[in-house]
Amino acid sequence: MASRVVAKSHLEGVDLNGMENYLKHHLTIAGVDQMLFDQTAVTAIHQGSGGLFRKANHLARGALIAAADQQSAQVNAEHVRLAATEIF
């Protein structure tokens, strides 16, 4: 297999501020005017994803579902933790 691989790369994750901006951007695209993730959730998503966007997307989506299930207006770290147990 390694003989067939032409190039290898390693993706660097974004920092915490970059993750917060990424989440805000996607909420804006979805038509949401306010930040639904509190700071503990942003930190948990950043740590759980290693700063990688694809993993962050899965965690954020799962956390939003967990928050909606609990009828919470804002996503917190506990919602992210619940999402992580379902996903990973």
Q: Tell me, what's the pLDDT at 1?
A: 59
Q: Tell me, what's the pLDDT at 86?
A: 85
The answer to whether position 21 is within a domain reads: yes
The answer to whether position 9 is within a domain reads: no
**Domain ranges, residue 36:** 16-87
The answer to whether position 33 is within a domain reads: yes
Segment (H or E) for 70 = none
* Per-residue three-class SS string for 8-65: CCCCCCCCHHHHHHHHHHHHHHCCCCCCCECHHHHHHHHHHHCCCHHHHHHHHHHHHH
The answer to whether position 58 is within a domain reads: yes
> Which tens digits make up the pLDDT trace of 21-53?
999 999 999 999 999 999 999 999 999 999 999
The answer to whether position 6 is within a domain reads: no
Which CATH number belongs to the domain containing residue 38 in this structure?
1.10.8.60
The answer to whether position 5 is within a domain reads: no
Domain count, the chain: 1
